[in-house]
Structure 1
């Protein structure tokens, strides 16, 4: 769900990965995604809300009082729609979302808060569904993000999928058949793949035995059995792991740093428990990662620290988080090109203004395409949505001068406003985010 919440149904990545999910992904209103379960359609936000409700109940049961406020963490590379959808999930769960914070920033907070550090740190966040690398500078309680990069379709799920494909090919080779993997078989193989992944993170080899899983041409079913050692496992997953370091190179270049400039590397996410990942991190950054905080808890610890400072009265001790825009923001220009308004890795919060005009006489509506991404062409970026200036006063072509202000807050969420420069009146404006039901 984390991979598809806030995504457009028509996005190529959605189509690519929807085939791998054990549930049916269908299109909803405004190019949104819905999950079809037992004939019912459910938005990803609703499923995320169920998870948040369970977390809220666990907190209430443990603490013995009602919990209503929350800090929610998201992958650093989440786009506008994904952040808004996450906020919506929090509201559906009955939570007052105080802040949306990037997961690597939360991890850095857990590592550095209260330790009077003066360091440059790298947060290598390799979870189940996403990968992020964030470079930060920590000075006392000031946490400044220098650069961030990531892939919201790269994580431990891809490792599981690679193991499934290995087992399918191995079955076809050993039994001389051609397999068509249905949802039931896929679910069984995915569960076994996860077991293999976890086991080979602590053991050198593992025996795989799946009863009655191989369908034969005569209608019978045979067992699948073999030994997988760590060397085979690392060979299977290495192409996936190497993709993370391609992204690391980009993040380090954007931060204008070399690996030897980094003082500490923090590992985040369950996939960093794999020894091959740890070894490659050590090779790339030329130092062993910091193991002082449990990798699957470090993000929640950082979010808890921030949450406490947001509701407490100890403002002098509160951390100062200076995060950045994860994806460039721009508007569609002539032909294939994008006019970039906010560059990637610009510090948050930030605002930019742009002047728009009417292209013909007495035009009542102006539509502006909004893009997010790293490219300068529309085909290289993500069409985030459409900005609509409506109820324009009558004027000859080019006479109107409408100033549109784009503001991205500390949550990384965009807000827009517009004013007619000649009259000084606020102009009606609507931002339609594709992938979200309006």
Structure 2
């Protein structure tokens, strides 16, 4: 981090020098420097000088420094970081902790609890304690059937098909954005106290696989919290920034992110200060909580065998920890208990390399993110898979938030700039030029994701129904399924769309054939896999249509 800090100092000095020259060369232009501009970093690509013609026209150029934080809004825990003295620094919360549980609860007295205090009472108030809300943000009820079964509170569908979280304690249903906003509000309030400065703006991180709807919803959560979300950036990009990879060029990085509730793997390519996510994979139902549960189950089973008491049915024992147990859990035993969980980590890593069309030998660096990567068996597994020693020089709990703070430091976001009219017109023209290309790229990504889902759902349906499906119908479905798989391998967007349509038509025949069977009511034949909104329709825009999916770019 020393080199990163040095670079940040240099950026700040460079901006200060450039601003000074702007004042000297163009005395008729206004430049206001905030008190902290020369101690916090400033964008390397920001040019404070402009053409003399613009200066002669008397256009105003205003630079204002203000506090902006980086927020890692996690599934299980969240963290905040800010630039202090030219270095990214984790903000401690009101409880003195460096991370905050992403948990919100309501008591019978209608009191709202956020963070650690909400987590502590979760076992005795399960129906009114909301956790892992990140799984539901920006998604329809039809998309979260599995996720809704993994939580203790009631997840319901509103009249528009959106996800709502039921809170019987106060007789209200919340959108996932509202609960996330309450977590963000605490994070920002604690940051304001820590920094002794009001914080109203932030850069917020999201998983690389988040779609437009989920990114917009995250930004909306910030707006609900009274926070202006200046940019949404990918978590693996933020982690890479924290490790200082923005200074490197032509490197391929694998980010192994094992958090409390989710597991994500991303492959990035770094070149000339630009981060490109080549592929993502993971398991949204695998994390440190699963490893913890194996230990709890083992302890409870041992206690029941010795004492005849089932601790898993005792809420107080679960909340405060099993009582009067003295035992030894060796690393070997722990790894035995979690062997299947460790095995589940392998496939997403292999898939991410395959999707990026790379081999393990192509990787230049492997970095670990998430507190669960501290498990020795996890680190050993990563080393065996990649044949590289993972980089563990940054605290895995804090790396994403630190990277978000670095993004703040190197962005144009520390400044409020009134650009000359001709510059604005040029930017609008360029944005329109590339809008079509960007839309096509998003459509291609959404289509592939939908095609993968259709393949999975169809295979699942064929397996579950088995011999109940007439052979001729099954043969046609399997033939179209093969064509869709071939289309996915080919990577042509329209071909995948056509193959999905053809497959869906055949899948509909499954339900019809079962319905026509004597005494049958099409058991198990639910909605057509992948049917409904097209990829372009599934990406929802916010009220202002301002969805920003941005990675760091160091303009020269």
* TM > 0.5: yes
Aligned-pair distance for 1:118? 2.4
Alpha-carbon separation, structure 2, partners of 1:50 and 1:275 = 35
Q: Tell me, what secondary structure is at the counterpart of 1:228?
A: coil
Q: Which residue of 1 aligns with 2:379?
A: 278
Q: Which residue of 2 aligns with 1:108?
A: 240
Alpha-carbon separation, structure 2, partners of 1:184 and 1:35 = 24
Residue 32 of structure 1, aligned match among 156, 163, 166 = 163
Q: 1:179 to 1:186 in 2, by over 3 A?
A: closer
Deviation string for 1:291-346 (max 9, x for gaps)? 2222122111221222330414699xxxxxx99848724699xx988999x979x9
Q: 1:142 to 1:51 in 2, by over 3 A?
A: same
Residue 17 of structure 1, aligned match among 131, 150, 161 = 150
Q: Is the 8 A contact 1:112 1:141 kept in 2?
A: no
Aligned-pair distance for 1:80? 5.3
Q: Which residue of 1 aligns with 2:435?
A: none
Q: Tell me, what secondary structure is at the counterpart of 2:394?
A: coil
Q: Tell me, what secondary structure is at the counterpart of 1:148?
A: strand
Aligned-pair distance for 1:62? 3.3
Alpha-carbon separation, structure 1, partners of 2:315 and 2:168 = 13
Trace 1:258-337 onto structure 2 (pairs within 5 A).
Answer: 258-308=359-409, 309-312=411-414, 325=445, 328-329=449-450
Q: Which moved more, 1:247-256 or 1:86-95?
A: 86-95
Q: Which moved more, 1:8-17 or 1:291-300?
A: 8-17
Normalized per residue, the structure richer in strand is 1
Deviation string for 1:49-99 (max 9, x for gaps)? 222112212332233332222221122334555434322321111111222
Q: Which residue of 1 aligns with 2:341?
A: 240
Q: Is the 8 A contact 1:126 1:268 kept in 2?
A: yes
Q: Is the 8 A contact 2:311 2:317 kept in 1?
A: no
Aligned-pair distance for 1:4? 3.5
Alpha-carbon separation, structure 2, partners of 1:88 and 1:66 = 20
Trace 1:125-144 onto structure 2 (pairs within 5 A).
Answer: 125-144=257-276
Q: Which residue of 2 aligns with 1:4?
A: 135
Alpha-carbon separation, structure 2, partners of 1:157 and 1:37 = 26
Q: 1:104 to 1:37 in 2, by over 3 A?
A: farther
Q: State how many pairs are aligned.
A: 327
Asked which structure has the greater CA Rg, the reply is 2
Residue 277 of structure 2, aligned match among 145, 150, 160 = 145
Q: Which residue of 2 aligns with 1:47?
A: 179
Q: Tell me, what secondary structure is at the counterpart of 1:137?
A: strand
Q: 1:379 to 1:328 in 2, by over 3 A?
A: farther
Alpha-carbon separation, structure 2, partners of 1:170 and 1:274 = 23
Q: Is the 8 A contact 1:76 1:102 kept in 2?
A: yes
Trace 1:33-432 onto structure 2 (pairs within 5 A).
Answer: 33-36=164-167, 38-41=169-172, 43=174, 44-79=176-211, 82-176=214-308, 181-189=313-321, 210-211=322-323, 223-308=324-409, 309-312=411-414, 325=445, 328-329=449-450, 386=533, 406=536, 414-415=540-541
Q: 1:310 to 1:149 in 2, by over 3 A?
A: farther
Normalized per residue, the structure richer in helix is 2
Q: 1:64 to 1:113 in 2, by over 3 A?
A: farther
Alpha-carbon separation, structure 2, partners of 1:262 and 1:255 = 11
Q: Which residue of 2 aligns with 1:374?
A: none
Alpha-carbon separation, structure 1, partners of 2:304 and 2:355 = 45
Q: Which moved more, 1:170-179 or 1:97-106?
A: 170-179
Q: 1:406 to 1:241 in 2, by over 3 A?
A: same
Aligned-pair distance for 1:39? 4.8
Aligned-pair distance for 1:150? 1.6
Q: Is the 8 A contact 2:246 2:270 kept in 1?
A: no
Alpha-carbon separation, structure 2, partners of 1:99 and 1:50 = 19
Q: Tell me, what secondary structure is at the counterpart of 2:397?
A: coil
Q: 1:109 to 1:16 in 2, by over 3 A?
A: same
Q: 1:296 to 1:180 in 2, by over 3 A?
A: closer
Q: 1:78 to 1:381 in 2, by over 3 A?
A: farther
Query: Structure 1-normalised TM-score?
Result: 0.63
Q: Is the 8 A contact 2:300 2:310 kept in 1?
A: no
For structure 2, which runs of at least 5 residues remain unmatched after alignment? 1-130, 420-437, 455-475, 499-524, 543-556
